[in-house]
Amino acid sequence: MENAKRKVKRDKCPKCHHDLKRIVSEKNGKPYWICQAPTEVCDSIYSERNGEPLLLIFGDADPTCPCPDCEAPMRMVKGGQYGDYWSCTAYPQCKGTLDIMPDGELPPPCPEDEAHGPMRIRPGKHGKFLGCRKYPECTATLETDGSPSRHKKNDDKEGAI
Ligand SMILES: [Zn+2]
Ligand SMILES: [Zn+2]
Ligand SMILES: [Zn+2]
């Protein structure tokens, strides 16, 4: 019985643009997506989220970008839900990640203590801001351009510029 859902899906391999095919593992019943290109061209496999392939591209380990948690080299991951980011190569033992600023650079280090490492990009009521990765132990915040945060809990009544 043909019961195909005619729904537009992100079902092209982001590496080689061949079609992806959904497979359900006989071992554990979990679905995953494989690239249809010949394996010598591309051997990508993608896990699934919400019925669609999770198209993450993992870059090579970059020793110039050490993990702030374990100092292993990190690698860039493209296509994440919230954009590109750095992921620790020791994953899954280490879940260290670093955000990437719109200009492609790492966020500035925590202004309270540089040992806290680069800050994280966080969504806020008034737009994005930078928060310390050691939150809630450290509550330092910065504007996304690295200037001191304007978003205080009690806005003083100087008014907008
Ligand atoms: Zn491919
Ligand atoms: Zn790490
Ligand atoms: Zn901090």
pLDDT in tens, 40-66: 999 888 888 888 888 888 899 999 999
What's the gap in Å between 58 CA and the centre of ligand 2?
A: 15
Ligand 2 mean position, distance from CA 62 (Å): 12
Task: Among the bound ligands, name the one nearest to the CA of residue 20.
Answer: 1
Measured in angstroms, how far is the CA atom of residue 63 from the centroid of ligand 2? 12
pLDDT digits (tens, 9 = 90+) for 5-48: 444 456 888 888 899 999 999 999 989 999 999 999 998 888 88
Query: Quick one: pLDDT at residue 136?
Result: 95
Q: In angstroms, rounded to a whole number, what is the distance separating the alpha carbons of residues 143 and 154?
A: 17
The identity of residue 27, as a single letter, is K
Q: Which ligand is nearest to the CA of 139?
A: 3
CB 119 within 8 A of CB 112: no
How many whole angstroms separate alpha carbon 116 and alpha carbon 89? 20
pTM: 0.65
